A = this chain, B = another copy of it.
């Protein structure tokens, strides 16, 4: 999931182009990009997409960002997005692990597949402080996504200062590693500032993030390039995962690759790398 293209749920005319584009994933939004009085309209459009043959055959990972747990829209969102093309639910503004579990229960109650993975946004100070617990809240949490806008603006923190962005990213990266899930970066707001987008993406890459949200198709190529894993790392990751599977088949806990004992964190890293390399 080197790149994830963001598409407002009220812009169905953009769906086909997004699915045909170069982004590894498409994230359709029902939250901030949809005004309060157009939530129903967006839900209908997104539901239709997720049940369409085009979406199912696109081979694209389709993510839907629903409205926050506790908002008046949450349950209606979950009921509307049932469809075979739905690949992941993006949950905004969880504050703690219990919110993630409550969201998964609501997803189950709404009849969504009980294997559907969750991408949890970390976008409040409380959530950043508890990000390791949120990532570990449930095995269905696949990743954590940084939401700098919501995190920084109420605190009055200027996101144009790289050191500010770095501090938040560093904390999220360690939390994701601790909980064994991936972390991915949020959007860069200024579409025209390509150098700024690239700088933020390089910073995220160097902190272990697997990809970045794009709010315009013009940002996708840079994200795909910057988050492309090194071939030598991918090769090593493949050998680590293969050795892990062989060890498991033999009933052995410990195994060695390239002369080194592979600890669980390194195995998790290898798995995340392969995921990223597959463009997922």
Contacts and interface: CB of A to CB of B under 8 A. Distances in A.
Interface stretch (A43-51, A58-66, A106-114, A164-172): A164-172
A247 interface: no
Contact of A129 (B125, B164, B173, B178): B178
B153 A173 contact: no
A82 interface: no
A251 interface: no
Contact of A177 (B125, B166, B174, B209): B125
Interface stretch (A1-9, A217-225, A265-273): A265-273
Contact of A173 (B156, B173, B177): B156
A126 interface: yes
B256 A175 contact: no
Given A164-B170, A167-B166, A269-B155, A175 B261 contact: no
A174 B155 contact: yes
A175 to B, nearest CB: 7
A124 interface: yes
Interface majority SS (helix, strand, loop, mixed), chain A: helix
Given A129-B178, A266-B153, A207 B124 contact: no
A271 B72 CA distance: 25
Nearest to A174: B125
Contact of A156 (B124, B156, B207): B207
A36 interface: yes
A176 interface: yes
A125 B175 contact: yes
Contacts of A210: 156
Given A163-B163, A256-B36, A261-B36, A269 B154 contact: yes
Contact of A154 (B36, B259, B268): B268
A173 B154 CA distance: 10
9 A-B pairs closest in CB distance: A156-B208, A154-B265, A155-B177, A125-B178, A125-B174, A158-B206, A154-B269, A167-B170, A155-B208
Interface of A: 32, 35-36, 72, 124-126, 128-129, 132, 150-151, 153-158, 161, 163-164, 166-168, 170, 173-178, 206-210, 254, 256, 259-261, 263, 265-266, 268-269, 272-273
29 contacts: A35-B259, A36-B254, A124-B178, A125-B177, A128-B174, A129-B178, A150-B263, A151-B174, A153-B266, A154-B177, A154-B263, A154-B265, A154-B266, A154-B268, A154-B269, A155-B173, A155-B176, A155-B208, A156-B177, A156-B209, A157-B170, A157-B206, A157-B208, A158-B206, A163-B170, A164-B170, A164-B206, A164-B207, A167-B167
